[in-house]
Amino acid sequence: MQLEVKYKPRIAVDARPLSYGLTGNSRYLFEVLKFLIRKDSHFEYFLYSNKEIHPMFMDFINENKVVITPIKKFPGVIWLNFILPYLLHKDRIDLFWGTLQLLPFFRLPIPEFVNYHDLNFRSAPETMTKANFIQHKLLSPRTLRNADTVFCLSKNTKREIAEFKPEYTKKLKVIYPGVSKKIIKNNELAIEGKFLFTIGTLEPRKNISTVIEAYLLIKKEKPNFDYKLVIASRRGWGQEELTARLLSGELEKEGIIFLENPNDELLNVLYQKCSIFLFPSIHEGFGLPLLEAMLEQKVCIASDIPVFREILESGTDILVNPREINEWKEAILTVTNRDSVKRRRVWDEKQWTWLATASQIEETFLIEWHKKLGSST
């Protein structure tokens, strides 16, 4: 369905994910914005944040002359509920898109949209900081009430929200993230030989320690195991002891290589050159790294959680209990003992494109905008 608009409505985007550097949230938002922000767009986009946008995203923003409102450095909850509504009114914004699972507590006088990755505060509260848990527990019911449309990143997220607040089921819309092949200018890598690869912030939810312990168990039982383990990560919270071990370099003699804050180019090379991809998260709203690995035709060993069952292919990839070290050990040995560690059939990425993601989001914006026009006449 194509809907035309003559006046270009203004859409405000909660751009705080772009201040974090390279994370799942920032990757998602940046890739979608690349398709939404264009000369023939139906809308004009304004980016709002309480922190400076990370330099890695500024080339795109400057090239496309995207409007970034003056930064207001307040704590997130104060900025969202008190500063942002004032700015939206001052800038005559027509629609608001919340990208971090929260909307202002008081209903805005414009259509509101919100991304929902997961309901961690219900399904995996132990993986959250206390402050983050309290914020989402208190504000999520209000956000779901205020939203005109809730963009769910998976069927599992939609199911979790529908069970939590069934009265809002009609607002829920599943829009999967996408994946795209990157142009690699330099694919040289200082790591020699075969390697397993995992990625994730050093925090409890990402469960990196389980993969490390499984790998060390393999090395203990099979000293000649000839795969290294490469971990691409950034510092998080609640993993101070693990972080210290990785930074000290003491695990390098066991074949564990820690890469802190790798850039996009290096990550692309790692996906391309790894033998097997490991993803041990205890809970995820989706799991973009799995798509990145499958795009490079890599076999994935991942946690047996509902959302990963939506993504991975049985018979090729392996799902294991995220907390069982021995299961991880056996899964790694199973795949590395195969005649070939490549995927048994070529993975078709056509169903997972950022263009499709952005198109569905834009279509929803258009529908709600026309509803607003209809109600005001």
Query: pLDDT (tens digit, 9 = 90+) per residue, 140-181?
Result: 999 999 999 999 999 999 999 999 999 999 999 999 999 988
Query: Which residue is listed with tokens 């993601």?
Result: 357
Cβ neighbours of residue 135 closer than 8 Å, sequence gap 6 or more:
77, 102
| 360, pLDDT greater than 80 | yes
Instruction: For 250-277, write each residue's pLDDT tens digit.
Output: 999 999 999 999 988 899 999 999 999 9
Are residue 314 and residue 268 in the same domain, yes or no?
A: yes
* pLDDT: which is higher, 112 or 56: 112
Are residue 37 and residue 125 in the same domain, yes or no?
A: yes
Are residue 72 and residue 106 in the same domain, yes or no?
A: yes
Least confident stretch, 61-65, 259-263, 293-297: 61-65
Q: What is the CATH number of the domain that holds 69?
A: 3.40.50.2000
- Tokens, residue 76: 């997130």
* Strand, coil or helix: 74: coil
Strand locations in 144-255 (E): 149-152, 172-174, 194-199, 227-233
Least confident stretch, 69-73, 124-128, 213-217, 247-251: 69-73
Are residue 98 and residue 151 in the same domain, yes or no?
A: yes
Determine the structural domain holding residue 317 and report its residue range: 194-351
Using an 8 Å Cβ cutoff, are 105 and 142 in contact? yes
Please compute the mean of the pLDDT values over residues 230-253 and round it to a whole number: 92
Are residue 35 and residue 77 in the same domain, yes or no?
A: yes
The answer as to whether 251 is a domain residue is: yes
Are residue 129 and residue 76 in the same domain, yes or no?
A: yes
The answer as to whether 56 is a domain residue is: yes
The answer as to whether 121 is a domain residue is: yes
Beta-bridge mates of residue 13: 47, 97
Residue 369 phi/psi, 5° resolution? Answer: -65, -40
Average predicted confidence (pLDDT) for the chain: 92
- Stated as kind and residue range, the H or E segment containing 115 is strand 112-116
Size of the chain, expressed as the number of residues it contains: 377
Q: How far apart are CA 250 and CA 230, in angstroms?
A: 14
Are residue 203 and residue 61 in the same domain, yes or no?
A: no
* Predicted pLDDT at 99: 97
Q: How far apart are CA 97 and CA 274, in angstroms?
A: 37
| 14, pLDDT greater than 50 | yes
Query: Which residue is listed with tokens 């930064």?
Result: 71
Are residue 224 and residue 322 in the same domain, yes or no?
A: yes
Instruction: For 183-226, write each residue's pLDDT tens digit.
Output: 777 777 889 899 999 999 999 999 999 999 999 999 999 999 99
* pLDDT: which is higher, 24 or 87: 87
Are residue 171 and residue 206 in the same domain, yes or no?
A: no
Give helix 288-295 / helix 264-273 axis angle, nearest 10°: 60
Please compute the mean of the pLDDT values over residues 282-299 and round it to a whole number: 93
Q: Which strands sit side by side in the sheet containing 10-14, from one edge to the other?
A: 67-68, 44-48, 10-14, 95-98, 112-116, 149-152, 172-174
* Predicted pLDDT at 185: 74
* Predicted pLDDT at 68: 84
Are residue 233 and residue 318 in the same domain, yes or no?
A: yes
| 2, pLDDT greater than 60 | no
Number of structural domains the chain divides into: 2
Nearest Cα neighbor of 319 from 349, 348, 291, 281 is 281
Are residue 347 and residue 362 in the same domain, yes or no?
A: no
Using an 8 Å Cβ cutoff, are 88 and 81 in contact? no
| 1, pLDDT greater than 50 | no
- Tokens, residue 188: 């040289």
CA dist list (Å): 208 to 173, 204, 243, 258, 261: 31, 8, 10, 11, 15
* Predicted pLDDT at 377: 52
Using an 8 Å Cβ cutoff, are 361 and 32 in contact? yes
Using an 8 Å Cβ cutoff, are 49 and 19 in contact? yes
* Predicted pLDDT at 84: 95
Using an 8 Å Cβ cutoff, are 114 and 103 in contact? yes
Q: How far apart are CA 30 and CA 36, in angstroms?
A: 10
Q: How far apart are CA 275 and CA 341, in angstroms?
A: 7
| 3, pLDDT greater than 60 | no
Q: How far apart are CA 74 and CA 80, in angstroms?
A: 9
* pLDDT: which is higher, 329 or 187: 329
Using an 8 Å Cβ cutoff, are 157 and 269 in contact? no
Are residue 253 and residue 288 in the same domain, yes or no?
A: yes
* Predicted pLDDT at 376: 63
| 227, pLDDT greater than 70 | yes
